[in-house]
Amino acid sequence: MTSGPPTLLKIFRAGEWEALQRDGAFAGSPDDVRDGFIHLSTEAQLAGTLEKHFAGEDGLVIAEVLVPPGDPALRFEPARDGQPFPHLYRPLARSECRRRPGG
């Protein structure tokens, strides 16, 4: 039995999520723009990402990111600890983001 690709997640601040809904695309948070890609997480990385980068923040929206299989703009690259994190080198379309219930 083989498993499919990992679920990709994006943590949006409330204003970023609202802008995505209004504008139809998300070019990235200030950190994303600085780094040149949109930071994503896998399910296994979500708790650590929330703790490290969003501790104490309210109004966060967690969305599943539905990037088409084989999209060359999606790359898994090592972070500071060497763990491969998903990075997206293009804007996210509203149609590629599905808000998680309760997230």
Q: What is the mean pLDDT of each run of 10 residues along the chain (103 residues)?
A: 78 95 96 96 95 93 92 92 93 96 75
Task: With respect to residue 2, please indicate whether it lies within any of the assigned structural domains.
Answer: no
Q: What is the pLDDT of residue 64?
A: 97
Q: Is residue 28 part of a domain?
A: yes
Domain assignment of residue 1, yes or no: no
Task: Give me 22's structure tokens.
Answer: 């209004």
Q: Which two tokens stand for residue 15?
A: 């204003």
Token pair in block for residue 99? 């808000």
Domain with 67, as residue range(s), is: 8-99
Domain count, the chain: 1
| Of residues 80, 97, 90, 17, the one with CA closest to residue 45 | 80
pLDDT of residue 3: 66
| Domain presence at residue 74 | yes
Asked, for residue 60, whether it belongs to a domain, the answer is yes
Q: Which residues pair with 26 in a beta bridge?
A: 92
In a domain? residue 62: yes
Provide the CATH number for the domain around residue 47.
3.20.170.20
Could you tell me if residue 3 is inside a domain?
A: no
